[in-house]
Amino acid sequence: MPEDHTNPTEEHQMLRAMVRDWTKEFVEPQAHVHDTQEKFNLELLRDLGGLGLLGISAPEEYGGSNLDATACVMVHEELSYSDPGFALAFLAHSMLFVNNFAHNANEEQKARILPKVCSGEWIGAMAMSEPDAGTDVLGLSSTATKQVDGSYILNGRKMWITNGCLDDQGTPADVVLVYAKTGEDEHGRVQISTFLVEAGMEGYSVGQKIMDKTGMRASNTAELVFDGCKIPAANLIGEEGQSMVHMMGNLELERLTLAAMSLGIARRCLHEMNQYASDRTAFGQSIREFGQIQKYIGDSWAKYRAMRAYIYDTAYNYQIGCAGQRLDSDGVKLFASVAAKEIADAAIQVMGGYGYVAEYHVERLWRDSKLLEIGGGTLESHQKNITRDLSKSPEVINE
Ligand SMILES: Cc1cc2nc3c(=O)[nH]c(=O)nc-3n(C[C@H](O)[C@H](O)[C@H](O)COP(=O)(O)OP(=O)(O)OC[C@H]3O[C@@H](n4cnc5c(N)ncnc54)[C@H](O)[C@@H]3O)c2cc1C
């Protein structure tokens, strides 16, 4: 039998079943209220540590589960089916912090930090974006200046940081990976380094919790401030000036798992519109008998199946910890984020007025889906990257 890339092994099947059951029992019932109240469910995120999912791709010796990209995709898809906002908080912790750290930190740093973030005792975030620099990553203005004792002084502001604050009182993330400028090379190119900032370090604080987001309201988004923040030499991750590799490698896994979140949204919306089209009658017949309704459902099914195949095929071939897999990590996010938003939109249309209110979930998923066209790279950045990569390697088109 040909291998099913969606559930390639028995372990993957068991993982999917476990996360699906857990999501139904614990994530689904709290999704609506956390969206309405713009509240992050910190305790529920910590519970994922007990399931071995907070360090899903981290080494087992430090409390991780050492699972592959397919497993990462599955978990994001399943959580997002019920609550994309909660799934985004999970992604920021497990992919943007833990996975990045696990692949770029030294052994001393891993032994010190990983057990705490894999268990959920500490919650992590990754701070790349700034108030004046998003897509233009090299345009960042945060700086870290090396002191004579080897420590660094970090100054700057970071914007839009998921898990940047843990509550409404401005409690900052326990640990954050922060990218900052540490100099220029001989050609005048900006050099970026990665720093581990820990709660309690002087000069590290939350500027604001960002409120009134369109969607993903169950995740906290914050501005972080670094004001003369002293970072010990032991908290430099990797070599000074070498962080473009960390950043780019991690962005690829981020894009793949954000695409997986789109897949969860698409599957849920398809499920809801299909059910509703059977239950609802108009003019004496089920609305699924109407050709225009059939177009919404038929087109959504085809898009859902296409995104599912592309995402799981990419995950199957994806090597965690290796950079250079951008063509398809950008490709899946470009395709899946747009498709999910279109499917959510179709679901609202099929459900009429009921689709427009919270009870049937799809209006929340429609709002959440929009973020996936922006966060982790905008649609335009994916289009640019793909076009650039295809100019360098046109042979992949005919492979
Ligand atoms: C809810 C949320 C959570 C987030 N979480 C995090 C996080 O945890 N960590 C983090 O570091 N960041 C995070 N971000 C930031 C996110 O990654 C950025 O918003 C995104 O990269 C876009 O950057 P920007 O908002 O500065 O837009 P800009 O880069 O200013 O873009 C504005 C517009 O210009 C377009 N544009 C820019 N450059 C080009 C170009 N060269 N060619 C064509 N068009 C271009 C863009 O595509 C976009 O349409 C988050 C954002 C949100 C909204």
Whether the CB-CB separation of 157 and 207 falls below 8 Å is answered with yes
Ramachandran region, residue 228 (left: φ > 0; alpha: ψ -120 to 50; beta: rest): left
What is the H or E stretch that residue 376 is in?
A: none
Give the bridge partners for 229, in sequence order: 154
Per-position b or e across 33-59, b if 16+ CB within 10 A of its CB: ebbeebbbbbebbbbbbeebbbbbbbe
- Phi/psi region, residue 154 (left: phi>0; alpha: psi -120 to 50; beta: rest), is beta
Q: Which atom of ligand 1 is nearest to the CA of 378?
A: 47
How many helices (H) and strands (E) the chain has is answered by 12, 10
Question: Could you give the count of Cα atoms lying within 13 Å of 231 in the half-sphere of its Cβ?
Answer: 28
Task: Please give the pLDDT value at position 2.
Answer: 59
Q: Give the 3-state secondary structure of residue 385.
A: helix
Amino acid at 164: G
Contact yes or no for 317/311 (Cβ under 8 A): no
Identify the pLDDT of residue 246: 84
The pTM of the whole model exceeds 0.85: yes
Residue 1's pLDDT is: 57
d(CA 399, CA 391): 15
CA–CA gap between residue 260 and residue 307 (Å, rounded): 9
Please report the pLDDT score of residue 354 as a whole number: 97
Ligand 1 environment, Cβ below 6 A: 92, 96, 125-129, 134-136, 160-162, 213, 216, 221, 371, 374-378, 380-381, 384
Cα(162)–Cα(75) distance, rounded to whole angstroms? 18
Q: What pLDDT, in 10s, does the model give residues 72-90?
A: 999 999 999 999 999 999 9
Query: How far apart are the CA of 133 and the centre of ligand 1, in A?
Result: 8
> Can you tell me the distance from the alpha carbon of 230 to that of 204, in angstroms, rounded to the nearest whole number?
9
What is the β-pairing status of strands 204-209 and 221-231?
antiparallel
Residues of the chain with pLDDT under 70: 1-2
Question: Going from the N-terminus, what domains does the chain have, and what CATH number goes with each?
Answer: 10-119 (1.10.540.10), 124-239 (2.40.110.10), 244-393 (1.20.140.10)
CA of 383 to the centre of ligand 1 (A): 14
DSSP 8-state symbol, 154: E
Torsion, Cα 296 370 53 29, to 10 degrees, reads: -70
Q: Which residue's CA is the closest to the ligand 1 atom numbered 12?
A: 129
Q: What integer pLDDT is reported at residue 323 of this predicted model?
A: 83
Q: Verify whether residue 77 is a known catalytic residue.
A: no
Ligand 1, from 126, 130, 135, 217: best to mutate by most atoms within 8 Å of Cβ? 135
Q: For 163-267, where are the E strands, in sequence order?
A: 175-184, 190-198, 204-209, 221-231, 236-237
Atom of ligand 1 nearest to the CA of 129: 11
